[in-house]
Amino acid sequence: MDVVDACFQEPFTTLEGYFSQAEQIFRQNFGNKLFLYAPSMVNYETSYCKNSALAFPALSVTGAKCYLGCEHCGGKLLESMLHADSPERLYSVMKKLVNKGAKGFLISGGCNSKGYVPLEPFIPVVARIKREAPIEVVVHCGLAPNNVVEALAEADVDGVLVDVVGSDLTLREVCHLERGVEVFSELLKNLSDHHLPFVPHIVVGMHYGKLLGEKAALEIISAYNPSAVVIVALMPLEGTGMMDVTPPSPQDIARIMLATRLILPNTPIVLGCARPRGLHRTTTDALAIRCGVNGITYPSETLFTICKRQNITLIFSQRCCGLIWKDISRDTGEVGVRL
């Protein structure tokens, strides 16, 4: 049994040796620096730090609309974003926020019938804003066709975020797409060929809370050279087809984080923003440290105590966690606040 199979199949209580290996990889390859992210999409405050509503907001170019209406999201995640559903509106909103102090943006939106965010008319606006101000822009693209990938490269975006699904059944039943998972290999290759920094996301438990396709998604991702990998998990959202689904356990999420660290020892890994809160989040955060992740988004209060006890250097940032590949190589003062 190889290491990835072991992470997915062996009893959780027998994975101690792999956790030790992951922690060793983290310290050998990255030191003891952990990035804590809190971009502006969610109001975040602990006794250690808090974020601003203006620092790094998320904008949806489709408003709350999404053709696919995926069972796990149903467009609900778009509702909390600022809506800018025309190029003129996008420029106006971005310009106003830059003037108020915004340092960057997440550009997102719902997908069209082909499974990608219709970014074509908005990319020139992104390029213009980046010429006018020293900001960073990361983009959710979905299954972007070649013309969109080329335009993103020409606009010099700072990161492309894409959820990688490893099951045809999940694509069909959850995402309502009649396509095979090979499309993700094609997309990642295209992004790589265009020298775009890309940050694949794995949504643990996307198939109604069960693990299905996560291992295949990781294998697809590891065949390329991602700038970073973000692990998130199903959040049962009110008003969606999965509102009553039990989310994956912290232990199941840890299996994917652990396998990712072991198969990609030199790649930055982040436990991302979309995941259950409360005790579930606290437990997952603690396991993430054992899996050797480089960053955690919207961490629980308990995590600060754990990290201080282990002499882990904490750096708080209000940027999107998809920029961790930049943050790791930067001077601390440019990235965030050392806690």
* Tens-digit pLDDT profile for residues 162-212: 999 999 999 999 999 999 999 999 999 999 999 999 999 999 999 999 999
Domain ranges, residue 302? 3-42+51-338
Mean pLDDT across the stretch 43-59? 92
Backbone φ and ψ for 51, nearest 5 degrees, come out as -105, 175
Length of the chain equals 339
Position 15 pLDDT exceeds 80: yes
Looking up tokens 């959850």, which residue turns up? 174
Mean pLDDT across the stretch 116-132? 98
**CATH code for the domain of 26:** 3.20.20.70
Of all residues in the chain, the percent with pLDDT exceeding 90 is: 93
**Dihedral angle, C-alpha 259, 263, 267, 271, nearest 10 °:** -10
Position 47 pLDDT exceeds 90: no
DSSP 273-329: S-S--THHHHHHHHHHHHTT-SEEES--HHHHHHHHHTT-EEEEE-S-GGGHHHHTT
Position 337 pLDDT exceeds 90: no
Domains identified in the chain, total number:
1
pLDDT band at 264; cut points 50, 70, 90: very high
Higher-pLDDT residue of 204, 329 = 204
Provide the mean pLDDT of the chain: 95
Mean pLDDT across the stretch 138-153? 98
Q: Are 302 and 289 in contact (CB under 8 A)?
A: no
| pLDDT value of residue 333 | 42
| pLDDT value of residue 334 | 47
Position 48 pLDDT exceeds 90: no
Mean pLDDT across the stretch 27-54? 92
| pLDDT value of residue 329 | 83
* 1-10, 22-31, 110-119, 228-237: the lowest-pLDDT one: 1-10
Mean pLDDT across the stretch 234-240? 93
Of all residues in the chain, the percent with pLDDT exceeding 70 is: 97
How far apart (Å, rounded) are the C-alpha atoms in residues 219 and 258?
Answer: 14
How far apart (Å, rounded) are the C-alpha atoms in residues 171 and 262?
Answer: 27
Which pTM value belongs to this model?
0.96
Maximum Cα interatomic distance, the chain, rounded to a whole number of Å: 56
Q: Are 264 and 229 in contact (CB under 8 A)?
A: yes
DSSP 13-66: GG-HHHHHHHHHHHHHHHTTEEEEE--TTS--B-SS-B--SSSS-EEETTTT--
* Tens-digit pLDDT profile for residues 64-89: 999 999 999 999 999 999 999 999 99
Q: Within the chain, how many helices (H) and strands (E) appear?
A: 14, 12
